[in-house]
Homo-oligomer: A and B are copies of this chain.
Amino acid sequence: MTEFELIERLFTRPSPGALVGNGDDAAVIAPSSGHAFVVTTDTLIEGRHFLPTLDPEKLGRRAVAVNLSDLAAMGAWPRFALLSLTLPQIDAPWVTAFARGLFDALGEHRVELVGGNTTRGPLAVGLTAMGEVPLSVGQPQVLLRSGAQPGDDVWVSGPLGDAGWACLCLLGEIDAVPTAEQIAHYECPVPRVDLGLALRPIATAAIDVSDGLVSEARHLARSSGVAIEIDATRIPTGLGALLSDERFAQAAWRALLATGDAYELLFTAPPGARARISELLAQQGLDGTRIGRVLAVAAEEAGMVRVLDARGEDRAAGRTGWDHFA
């Protein structure tokens, strides 16, 4: 078997949901009747989005997770994907493990890989994901960043900071040994697809926390023309004790507020939906909770985010998200 045949065999799977699947110049797909497609693309670069030591199977899963997380934040049902894989060489066991992780993760969400390409170069994994949402009178029923209303609650779907903490430890930026659970948070993010679907008729706005709580909250607040105030003591996190540990507090706050990789959903909803959302989170086994509220502000202050700690001090000041060029 040549390298070309190996690649073809590994990445060509049946796609019964496509009108024309893998193997021609392009794939042909159509959304279900009365639906529109939701499309997103993300590329994972070695050394920037994952460590060179990451197991290839986990890398395959991760590429799927980060893209489906964007679809989840739109309340879309994932359906199709295209892969752009750049490899320094064809290492058969490596590629086989990568494909296993990729297809396992796609399969869990019944997403079909309908095309892509493989080429030689520095390791990078690009995935384009397509989901769908219903159309109602021509308008897509979708979760946008722009719908948050003053008076809404702000929610997060699960713990923040643990993944970022693990990442900072593994990078050697924090002199601590991350727990296995923290590493799992970092290496194996879970896209909140079912939650996004269930939230579509309930939440007023949503975004996924890929680049840090404060920067994502700012994006959402700016798009919605509002401000957001978060009660830091309510943010679910495994870093609790570290936040007040003299030695680690600074790094822990950074991990909590300004590192990504959590891939939880940050969303807003009216207070009347509290019981329903709590029930939904419990049903799905998620440790999500209400962490803040949406405030009306003058247009020039739209996008303002405060994160108040137990002493009422704002911990958001000066925080930026993960800058891929920093």
Q: How large is the interface on A (under 10, 10 to 19, 20 to 34, 35 or more residues)?
A: 35 or more
> Given A28-B142, A74-B24, are A82 and B41 neighbors across the interface (CB < 8 Å)?
yes
Number of copies: 2
Contact with A115, one of B24, B41, B49, B122 (Cβ below 8 angstroms): B41
Instruction: Give 1 or 0 for each of A93-130: 1 = CB within 8 Å of chain B CB.
Output: 00000000000000000000011111111101010101
A156: CB under 8 A from chain B? Answer: no
Q: How far is the CA of A80 from the CA of B30 in the complex (A)?
A: 14
B117 touches A20 (CB 8 A): no
A120 touches B48 (CB 8 A): yes
A281: CB under 8 A from chain B? Answer: no
Chain B residues with CB under 8 Å of A207's CB are 25
B121 touches A20 (CB 8 A): no
Which residues of A come within 8 Å of B, CB atoms?
3-4, 19-20, 23-31, 35-43, 45-49, 70-71, 73-74, 76, 80, 82-84, 86-87, 89-90, 114-122, 124, 126, 128, 130-131, 133, 135, 139-140, 142, 144-146, 206-208, 223, 323-325
Known A24-B223, A82-B128; further 5 A-B contacts with Cβ < 8 A: A20-B38, A43-B84, A45-B121, A86-B124, A118-B324
